[in-house]
Each structure stands twice: as C-alpha cells, then as structure tokens.
Structure 1
C-alpha cells in the first residue's frame, strides 16, 4: 500500500519555456511551447511521448511556464488531461530563468516530497517509457538517501563532444560537462584511486530523475539560473552537502536527445521524421493536436502530408502541413513546413524548418536554415547554412545571405540588452548576439556565459555590426551551392541515417544470402544465427524499429530466387520454412505494415518483384494471422496514381469481400 501511495506522488516537472538568448529570434513573437515543427506545436510533441512515461502507471505532470498565456495552458489541458493521472499547468509571471522557476515551485510547495522527473527543455524526446530507470532510481534511493539525482545519458549522435566521468561500479558522477562554457568539476585524488570511467561518446539527453531535496539548492542560491549550476554545486561541495549524483546510461536501443541550439534542432527534426524516436512519429499523433483535425499520413521516403493530400514528387524526410503549392521539380530533403506555402520551379530546400505561408521563388537554394511565418524569398536566391530568418521577412530576387546570419523584419526589442540590430539597405534587420564571437546565434560558444556575465556587471561597450548580406544581380539560376566553404559553413546535420541504414542493409543481405546458400538453411540453428546477426547489425548501426522491420524483408527480396519469375514455388517454400524468423519481427499490425512497405519499395525498383507481388502477398496472407486489414490499410495508403494499384486491385477486392462475408456470418450468429 505504501508503494502505491509513493507511486501516486511521482510527478513529471516540465518547464515549457526557453530562456536561452540564442533562441530569441524565433521566440520573441511566439512562446516556445507554441512554436511548431510543421503543423505540430512543440509542447504537443513533448506531451505525446511524456504521456507514456512509467506506463502502465499513468503519470502525474506539472507544467510551468512564464511565456504561455492562461488560455494556451487551458488548450493544452483540454487536449492532454485524460492522458495523465493529474494534469497541472501553472503560469508564473516574470520568471526569466529555470532557476527562478524552480525557486517559485519550491516556495509554492507545488511538488510533493519524494522523487520527480525533470525535463527543463521542451525539445527533448525519448523512445522509452523509462520504467526500468525510474524503478532503479527509487530502489537506489531506498538504499542510499544521499543519491539525490540520476542524470540520463544516451549514445552521442553528433555535435560537440562532452565528457562524463563516473565510478565504474557505482555509476556515481565524478566529472560533468553540461554547457560547454562551465567548468566540469575539480579533479581530486579520489578520482584516481577508485576505478573510474571517462567517456566522450555519450551526451546528456535533457532528462533527470531527482529528489525534491535538490529544490533547496535553488532556494539557497538565489543567483543560480541554470540546472547545471546545481549539478556543479553538488559535485564540488559533496562533503558539505552529503549529496551524490548517479549516471544513468540508456540502452543503445533507446533514442533520447535534447535540442539545445539550432543545429541540434535540425537534427531533432530529422530523427523524428526518420522515425528514430518511435512510437513518437508524426503519423501516430492524436487527431486533436492538429488545428483542422486532419492527421498526417506516412508515405514512402519518410514523407508525411495531411491524410487528404498527395505527397510532393521529389521529397524525402519531409513533413508538410495542409494546402502547400509545390512545383513538381522542387527538391525537398529533410524539410518541415507549415501550411499555405508556395515553392516555385527548381527550388531546392535541404535541412530546413519553415513556418506557415512561406513563398520561395524559382531557382532558389536554401540549405540548413530555420524560417519563420509569412516569409517571402525571391527567385535565384542563395540562403546559406546556419541562417535564421524571422517572421515577415521579404528577401528580394538574387539575394545571397551568408552563413551564420539572423535576418528579421523588425529591430531587436528595446528591453533585450543581449541583442543589437542594424537595418540593412534591402529593408530588413540583421541581429547580433553581443556576447558571442561575431554576434552569431546558431551555436553557443565556450566563452558566451563568461562574456555575458562580465558585460552585465561591467557595462562593456558594444561592438559594431559586420554586414554580411549582399545582392547577387548576376545570378543565373542559384541552383548550385558555393564552390568553396569556410569552416563556419560545415553543416550541423552530421547524422547520416541513410549511411547507417545502407550499411545495415549490406550486412544483413550478406547474412541472409549466406544462410540461403548453406545446406541447412532452414534449421532452427540457422534461423537463430541469422536473427542474431541481424540484431547485432541493428545495434551497431543504431537502426530504428521501423527501419529494422522494413529492412529485414527487403533483404529477403534481394535473394537469388527473386531474380526471375520462374522461382515462385521456391520463394513460397522458403517463406514458409523461414516463418520462425518472420514471427520474431512481424507480430504487430505496425510491423506487418512495414513488411508491406518493403514489398512496395521492391516492386517499384524491380519489375520481377512487381510481377510476383500479388502471389507474394497471397503467400503472406495464408501464413500470417490478421493480415486482411494490414494489406487493405497498406493498399489504401498508396497514391491514387500508383502503378501498383492495378496489380493489387483484384486481391484487395477479394480480401474485402472475404472480410464482409465474415462480418455477415458474425451478424447472423448474433441474430440467431
């Protein structure tokens, strides 16, 4: 009974604001919680995966914000309250840092005594419900009350290297590097006399399990603004506070990450679009998070568009809201875009987050850019990497915008003394962040916090603006990127999911071919060994669950019998003999749907597989339970003009008739 009461008190504390001045260009006119990726608000994305934490126990949640309005909080409460045991959303006036919010939470006694889970950045995502980690922390607290925190780390995907040091056996934190500009800790003799581990392949993922005792650290240190400062305080003064911190390294099968700058925000977009954070995917979001109540549908090449619309012709890794007008020869790669956009002929967008109602002219190239709402970019423009374009900006034809610029339609707010702005001859404003070298916003530098503190305390003079925007009147098409790059042009999108997936496919195709060629290819040992090799390759390459299930059957389709239409009998025999393998990967409706998509991909690329497709689906139907609805759902997801629809029409009609007859029989039995 005591355990049940203890679990009832466990709360998720979510800070729904972003106080980092680097994000001021996109947060000055809209709150962080209402900022959107495609058509989905950031707070909705966060709540979708947070609602699964610690399931099957329904979690309690406390959302704190000083930038969301009361009506905004009421809207989120209406959408999400039923997914939580208790849902509290509280607005604090005039809080300007995480530290101020934590002190206000403590003074109002909003957290019950015990343990809670802290997420201080909305742009934090995780593919796990964290049940085992929460249970482990509670058990550790029962044995050691001095352990007041567990910091979650996951495999580093890309970005700046950060070190973490801990005792090898106990996982007690010894060396911490959070924000790059803060000292990790003081090195002590004890670190070298105990068995310790130092790793640089891990990254903090923005999630911490805490005891409410840490709230006193904020209350006792009124100058603390960041959560990192509390971690530093506990490490440096362990003998005084008698408190320790544990390192929790998430399994490699779990994807967890937090976006702390624009580069990592683009990486987060790509991870979500490529389904690395499953079950958090755009096509599984509840209908209530969409303004028009029309959810997104998944299409080939990781493209998502509203259910009543067709995807663009040349797109990959792209999410689009409704009513976008996109020319057929536009290229989209890793793009999210809001509603009402217009992209003209020969435009190229790569690694872009764009808002509502953007217009891009003919031949314009945009690469590695974050764009606000109601932006117009003319023809033959080049918008280079690490650029932020604010809402309402109008960029003339032929404009070239250099890397690391922030282009806004208004001057910087007068009350914000961290930023200065300059009006450009073309009518818009360039913003500069005073405490960053060269005024760049894109990524936090090592010197930022120190420079900001010194300026705030000593009234340093402001540096002059450097103008980096030019107009290229002689640009012919703008379709090519610059021939040469400087160091600052290196993209932040270091995560090459296609590279890892291709490597995975190469490995499992070889393993499957070796198994097929062996004399005992259908024995239980052969199937087990093949499954082990597939799973090892999956872990080594960090493959998402959906790419795993799609890839396994794609590898099967690469076997020699599929090179001719005369081997259908052998294909059916092999499929049946390898049924123990299929049962490991294709148990759920979603897994079976990926199998269908694998056949779809193969049929579009290989005329032999296309010719065999109806018979192959019939074989699958006969050997799997509950395949009727899976095949029908897959068929319904095909574009109306797909060349595969006529090939599958008769089989699908037969399945639908069979399904209707089954329903009629059930009705007759009920009547009887």
Structure 2
C-alpha cells in the first residue's frame, strides 16, 4: 500500500445548518442531540469506526457548534478506534460550504482521496471496503473522476431520480434532497446507453478527491454540497471532471435522515436491527453516561441491563429510571431517561428527550419531542409535530398536524422563523420560506424561496410574507399538506411472513424421506435465503429465526422425543455450520431457545438437554452459553433450569485453564 493510500481520511461534519431542524437544535448542538440516551455523534462514530480502507482509517471531525471541550470528550471516547483522530472547531461557519472552504484553507486533508459524511444522521451496515477500493482503482485509471456518490435502495419517502451511463456508471442526472432533478442535457446523453432509476436514494456518503474542495473555494456563494455536484455536471467540459454512481448491494442497509420523517424511519431501522452490526445492544459502555449498556429483549425492545422492559412495547429503546404504567402501549419509540407514562397512554413513532411526563389516556403518533416536556391527560398529539424542550400541554388538548410548539419565541436575529404566543402558553413557530410554514419536510420550493428572500434583503428591497399562524392550533384546520406521507416500516409483518415460510420449508424437509441428505440441506438453505431476501430480513433476525423454526418441528411437541431431537440436530449439522459460525450468530441461537422456552413449556423442559446437545456438536459454545446465561435477568424463570449446566461449563472452563497453566509451568 502506498503512503498516499495510508492517508485516506474520513471527513465528518458534525453540524446541521438546515433551518428545518432549528426547533430541536436551538438549545443543543446536533452532535449532542440524543436518540434515547445516546448522542447522535456517538451513534455515527459507532458505525464509522467499522469503515475499512482496508486498514483502520484516519478521521477528521469539524464543527462550528461543538466547543473544544465537547470535541475533546468525543476524542477521549473514540480516538483508539482510528489511526488518527482530529477534531477541529471552526468559528463563524454557518454552512457546509464555509466548513469546506475552511478545511481547504487550513490544508487539513492530505492530497488524495477522502470519504465525506456531511450529515451525522447517516448510517450504514457495511465497512465500505469494496466501494473505497473501487473508487481508488477508478481514480488510478481516470483522474477526472473526482467523486463517487453512494446510493442504496429506497426504503420509503418520495421518489428521487438518478441517471447514469449504464456501463461506466458516470452520473448524468442528479436530484438532491427534495430538489427537482436538474442537469444540462446533451446530445451524448441520448446517444449512449443510459439508465434512469427512481428506486434508489443517496445515502449521505461520498467518496471524493481533494480537488472537490477547490469547487467550494472558487465558488464562494456555494453553501451546499449539492451545488458542487450540479456545478460539475453542468460544466463538465469546463472542469473536465466526472462523478460516478456507486450502488450498494441489496444486502447493505444505508440511509441518511434529511428531515423529521426520515429521522423517525432511521430510528425504526436501527431498533429493528436492519443496520446490523450496529445495534443498540452492541454500543460500547463509554457512550452511556451511566456506564450501563442496553440489553435486547423480545419484540426489539432495549432497556438498560439492570432494568426490565415495559409490558406492552415493540421496537422501543429506553433510557434509565423510566416509570411506565403496565397499560401503556409503546411502538417504535425512543425515550431518554426519567420519563413517566400514565395509564392507557399510546405512543407510536416517537423520539423523545429526558423527563417526559404524559398523562392518562393520551395518544401521541409521529412526533419528535424535546426534554422536560409535560403532556396532560386525554390529549391527542397528531403526526408531523415537533414539541420543543420545556413545553407544557394542558389536559384535553388536541394538537393538529405539522405544528411546532416551543417554550420560547424564535431566537433573536433569526430571520428564517416567525413565532407567535398561543393562548395555551406555548409558542408556535413557522418557517418563512415554506409554503405552509411547516418544518417537518423540505419542499421543492424552499431553496429557491429562501434564496430569493435573502437576495431581496441584501439588495435593500423588502418582500411581504404570506405565512399565517393558525389562531387555534388544536383545530388542525391547516392548508392541505401535499407531501408524501411517511411510510410505516412494518418489519414485524415481514418477519412473521419469513417465519411462516421457513417453518413450512423445514416441515417439508423433515417430512421427506431423504430429509438429511446434502441435497436436502442445500435446498433448505436456498429456500431460507430466498425468503430472507424477499422479506428483507436482518442478519440477526435470520439466525434467530432459523433455529426458532427448527424448534417448531413435530419432535418438540413432547418431551418423549428427545433422542429424535438429538439425532435430527446432528443430522442437520451442515445447516447449523452455515448459519452459526461467529459468536454473535451462536448467541442468536441461544436467544431462539430462550424465546421458545418462555412460550412453550415443552421446550422449557427440554432446554438443558438442548443446550447440552448444541454444546457437544458446535464448536466453542461454552463461552457463548455462559455469556447468554449471564445476560438473563436475575429474576428470570429460566435461570434455575440452566444453573447446573452453566456451573458445569464454568468448572470445565476453569479446569482447562488450570491444565494450560500446568503445561506452561512444566
């Protein structure tokens, strides 16, 4: 590897300059904003630390909103995961363009290639090694290729178009976030074979040459990365520069959250383990202020390891010290520490800060909530609402769609936002350059309207704003929102379909006369993998689901068939060797037995013998079983059933260590 390649750097911009996010970043920086109890920058660095170049990369974090003390704290937590870790504070940089010009003027990036992530709320399940290598190889052959934009399959939201040459993948048509697709159409575009796709979305990751920085320096009015992309496309002949499209494999999950709707979708992807190996229960201890990590429970629920999950919850991650009534219902929710939810509260698709208090019979759906918010009894908070920190909502209040409720007026000197004090005591905010004043999504006209308004102000003229604030926010009588509604990511539906299909496949294999032949095992693997791809199942759900399906076969209907169970497990060993190679996948096997034992008394009665069978036939299972057992809650009904076996495994492990010590002494 050359010295230049060793200097490959990840450039991470830790700020968010989009005024749509001002309600949640007005009193806390974007990097310190939390999903549950985890800071956004910690979440980002968790997956970025896995990027392979193919060596451990260098990282440069730049920010105008994080002070030196903040940056030093993140460096302390993450520096050893990178070859080098630099964190630099920039004064008075209100845009991505200003940040990039500052990076260029200070020569902070070595000449060559770098990976740019301009939004912290970007996540990826791949180490990106193939994509980085491909970009480097392309650059060796063609120095005019200055950028590679990474695209992944679109999960939901509005369709965005991308056009490229079919063979070379050279970018021809680009549509940024909610912009109209623009480019300079040339004769060559119609004479070469081209592909236009609307099923892909940019995932917020770009591989760049440092030549890209010059575009920001030469165009001082460029504030957005999209402007540079359009500049290169429109003036390709002038700059002699090209951009390529890199489409990530179907097995890779990558996305970037560019508005509140996609932020909620991103939370659902994380909580349902679509971004594995990044999952909440794998986050390191150092990212938690309490130094207590999260534990995974059934139905994709995560709570601190020393606490128990709420009764009726699914797709939920909670901080510490929460008081949740047994009748409350939570679905796809992330809440920070010390929340209190009353009787029959229903919360769905919500990210909330610490010290949230919600009264009896209140319903909240599709909302982002700040810290120390109090919501009374029998309230209805409708979708696409943002509630800022410190807001109190009285009993019986009904909040309409697409509202922003804040405890304070808009910041002084901010000419993008208009605010009004409402009769119930809070302030409603409106974004001036949006047709309806909404913050939830960026409209196609926003950038143009904002540019024209600022241009008018700077030229000494004035314009009249036709934004009106509703007299009664609880009525919900607003202008019709023409944006595409959020699409609910119903991962549970697809997992149920996956389980149904592979149970049928396993049952058919079990019933066949040649159920244990190599051909039968290969065919079963093909059917399982096809079902996995068809239903978009995450790796962890795959490995847990495969063994759960095995536990549903007829021999497990009675405790009298234990010899047949052992025989079948051994005969299907090739199947287990395909799916249970790593410690993590073997741990999912243990969780599958745990889930089945809690639901089925027969499986629970067979559980110690099942674990012994697994231990005897799969390699390195002793430490996995011990680790799984230690993760069980102290009051778990399964602990007494497994105590003797685990004690024996620990003794066997200790004897092995003693034997090794004796050999070394000899």
1:489 Cα offset (Å): 10
1:61·1:86 contact (CA, 8 Å) conserved in 2? yes
Partner of 1:45: 43
Q: Secondary structure at the match of 2:405?
A: strand
SS in 2 for 1:294: coil
**What is the CA–CA distance in structure 1 between the aligned matches of 2:397 and 2:665, rounded to whole Å?**
73
1:346-365 equivalences in 2 (<5 Å) = 346-365=344-363
How far 1:190 sits from its partner (Å)?
1.8
Deviation digits for residues 334-379 of structure 1 (CA, Å, limit 9, x no counterpart): 1111112111222111111011111111111111111101111111
Q: Does 1:508 align with 2:519?
A: no
Name the residue aligned to 1:287: 285
Alpha-carbon offset, residue 656 of structure 1: 3.1
Structure 2 counterparts to residues 119-198 of structure 1, below 5 A: 119-198=117-196
Superposed, 1:423-442 pairs within 5 Å as 423-442=421-440
* Cα displacement (A) at 1:608: 2.6
Alignment partner of 1:465 is 2:459: no
Match of 1:477 in 2: none
CA distance in 2, matches of 1:596, 1:306: 20
Do 1:282 and 1:304's aligned partners in 2 also have CA atoms closer than 8 Å? yes
* Whole-Å separation in 2 of the counterparts to 1:347 and 1:489: 29
Partners of 1:631 and 1:506 lie apart in 2 by: 28
How many residues are aligned here? Answer: 659
Instruction: Report whether the alignment pairs 1:398 with 2:396.
Output: yes
Q: TM-score, normalised by structure 2?
A: 0.95
> CA separation of 1:464/1:125 partners in 2, compared to 1, >3 Å: closer, same or farther?
closer
Look up the SS of the partner of 1:421 in the other structure: strand
- Structure 2 CA distance for aligned equivalents of residues 660 and 490 of structure 1: 60
Distance 1:539 1:605, change over 3 A: same
Q: Deviations over 1:181-208 (max 9, x none)?
A: 2442133322221111111111100000
Report the secondary structure of 1:438's partner residue.
coil
In the alignment, is the contact (CA less than 8 A) between 1:399 and 1:470 conserved in 2?
Answer: no
Contact 1:234 1:243 in 2 (8 A): yes
Contact 2:53–2:132 (CA<8 Å) still a contact in 1? no
Q: CA separation in 2, counterparts of 1:526 and 1:637?
A: 36
Q: Is the 8 A contact 1:275 1:544 kept in 2?
A: yes
1:528 to 522, 526, 535: 522
CA drift of 1:390 comes to 0.3
CA distance in 1, matches of 2:504, 2:472: 51
Comparing 248-257 and 3-12, the one that deviates more:
3-12
- Within 5 Å, which residues of 2 pair with 1:17-32? 17-32=15-30
Cα deviation digits, residues 239-298 of structure 1 (max 9, x gap): 111111111011111111100000110111111111111121122112111112222222
Structure 1 residue 490: Cα displacement: 7.8
Asked whether the equivalents of residues 266 and 493 of structure 1 are also in contact (C-alpha less than 8 Å), the reply is: no
Instruction: Report the RMSD for the aligned CA atoms in angstroms.
Output: 2.0
**Structure 1 residues 488 and 510 mapped into 2: Cα distance closer, same or farther (>3 Å)?**
farther
User: 3-state DSSP class of the match of 2:436?
Assistant: helix
1:586 maps onto 2:580 in alignment:
yes
User: Structure 1 residue 664: deviation in Å?
Assistant: 4.2
Q: Which residue of 2 aligns with 1:297?
A: 295
SS of the residue corresponding to residue 30 of structure 1 reads coil
Q: What is aligned with 1:475?
A: none
Can you give the 5+ residue segments of structure 1 that lack an aligned partner in the other structure?
473-481
Counterpart contact for 1:159–1:494, Cα < 8 Å: no
Mind listing any 5+ residue stretches in structure 2 that lack a counterpart?
Answer: 457-461
Asked if the contact 1:125–1:277 (Cα under 8 Å) also holds between the matched residues in 2, the reply is: yes
* C-alpha displacement of 1:562: 2.2
User: For 1:217-236, what aligned pairs fall within 5 Å after superposition?
Assistant: 217-236=215-234
Give secondary structure in 1 for the equivalent of 2:326: coil
From the superposition, tell whether residues 589 and 94 of structure 1 become closer, same or farther in structure 2 (CA, over 3 Å).
same
Distance in 1 of aligned mates of 2:160 and 2:518: 44
CA positional deviation for 1:629: 2.1
| Maintained 8 Å contact 2:314/2:332 | yes
Counterpart for residue 554 of structure 1: 548
| C-alpha distance after superposition, 1:430-471 (max 9, x if no partner) | 001111121111111111111112222233212343327556
For residues 549 and 471 of structure 1, the distance between their equivalents in structure 2, rounded to whole angstroms, comes to 47
CA distance, structure 1, for counterparts of residue 156 and residue 558 of structure 2: 43
The equivalent position to 1:616 in structure 2, one of 610, 616, 623, is 610
1:383-435 CA distances to partner (integer Å, 9 max, x unpaired)?
A: 11111000010111111111111000000012111110110101000001111
In the TM superposition, residue 644 of structure 1 has moved relative to its aligned partner by: 2.7
Instruction: Note the alpha carbon deviations across 1:570-608, whole angstroms, 9 max, x for none.
Output: 221111011011011111111111011111222223333
Tell me the residue number matched to 2:459: none
Determine whether 1:640 maps to 2:634. yes
Change (3 A) 1:182 1:218: farther
**Which segment drifts farther, 298-307 or 211-220?**
298-307
2: CA distance between counterparts of 1:187 and 1:562?
65
Q: Which residue of 2 aligns with 1:310?
A: 308
CA separation of 1:487/1:638 partners in 2, compared to 1, >3 Å: closer, same or farther?
farther
> Aligned partners of 1:487, 1:639: CA distance in 2, in Å?
47
Shift of 1:113: 0.8
Conservation of the 8 A alpha-carbon contact between 2:543 and 2:589: yes
After TM superposition, the structure 1 stretch with the greater mean CA deviation from structure 2, 123-132 or 175-184, is 175-184
Deviates more, 1:202-211 or 1:522-531: 522-531
* Cα-to-partner distance string for 1:585-634 (whole Å, 9 max, x where unaligned): 11111111101111122222333322322221221111112222222222
Answer yes or no: is the 8 Å Cα contact 2:157–2:485 preserved in 1.
no
Alignment CA distance shift 1:150-1:464 (3 Å): closer
* CA pair 56-286 structure 1, distance change in 2 beyond 3 A: farther
Residues 303 and 318 in structure 1, CA contact (< 8 A), matched pair in contact too: yes
SS at match of 2:2: helix
Per the TM alignment, residue 647 of structure 1 is displaced from its structure 2 partner at its CA by 3.0
TM-score normalised by the chain length of structure 1: 0.95
Q: Does the Cα contact within 8 Å between 2:335 and 2:351 map onto a contact in 1?
A: yes
How many angstroms apart in 1 are the aligned matches of 2:117 and 2:134?
A: 18
Residue 51 (structure 1) shift: 1.3
C-alpha distance in structure 1 between counterparts of 2:129 and 2:169, whole Å = 19
CA contact (8 A) 2:157 2:484 kept: no
After superposition, the Cα gap between the structure-2 partners of 1:419 and 1:471, relative to the gap in structure 1 and judged at 3 Å, is closer
CA distance in 2 between partners of 1:15 and 1:439 (Å): 27
Which of residues 32, 35, 56 in structure 2 aligns to 1:34?
32
- Work out the CA distance in 2 between the residues paired with 1:105 and 1:165: 30
Q: Which residue of 2 aligns with 1:246?
A: 244
